[in-house]
Amino acid sequence: MNVSILGDGLTSLALAKLLVNEGIKVDIFSEKKLRKSNKIQTLGISKSNTDFFIENISDIRKFLWNIKKIEIFSENLKNEKILNFEKKKQTLFSIVKNFDIYNFLLQKLKKNKLVKFKKSISLNNIKKKNYELIFNCDYQNSISKKFFYKKIDKNYQSFAYVSSLKHKKLSNNHTASQVFTKKGPLAFLPISSTETSVVYSVQGKDNIDFEKLIKKYNKKYKIYKLNKFLKFELKSSNLRSYYHENIIAFGDLLHRLHPLAGQGFNMTIRDIKKIHELIKFKKEHGLTLDISICSDFEKSTKVNNYLFSNGIDFIYEFFNFENKFNTNKLSKSLKFLGKNKIANDFFTKFADTGIIF
CATH code, 2-353:
3.50.50.60
Residue percentage of the chain with pLDDT more than 90: 49
Q: 245 with 238: CB under 8 angstroms?
A: no
Distance CA 213, CA 294 (A): 46
* pLDDT (tens digit per residue) in 137-157: 988 888 899 999 999 999 988
From CA 13, how far away is CA 18, in angstroms rounded?
9
Least confident residue range of 16-30, 111-125, 220-234: 111-125
283-339 confidence digits (pLDDT tens)? 888 888 788 999 999 999 999 999 888 888 887 777 777 666 566 666 666 666 556
Determine the pLDDT at residue 357.
Answer: 45
Give pLDDT tens digits for 153-206. 999 888 888 999 999 999 899 999 988 888 888 999 999 999 999 998 888 766
Q: Is the dihedral of CA 229, 234, 240, 244 positive or negative?
A: negative
CA distance 56 to 53: 5
- Distance separating alpha carbons of residues 132 and 294, to the nearest angstrom: 11
Task: Count each helix (H run) and each strand (E run) in the chain, helices first.
Answer: 10, 18
This prediction's pTM = 0.89
Kindly report, residue by residue over 13-52, the tens digit of the pLDDT: 999 999 999 999 999 998 665 555 567 889 999 999 999 9
Could you give the 3-state DSSP secondary structure of residue 284?
helix
pLDDT of 113 reads 96
Tell me which DSSP letter residue 156 carries: E
In the predicted structure, residue 91 carries a pLDDT above the cut 60: yes
Identity of residue 259? P
In the chain, the N- to C-terminal Cα span, in Å, equals 30
Q: Which residues pair with 29 in a beta bridge?
A: 6, 118
Please report which confidence band the pLDDT of residue 106 belongs to, taking 50, 70 and 90 as the band edges.
very high
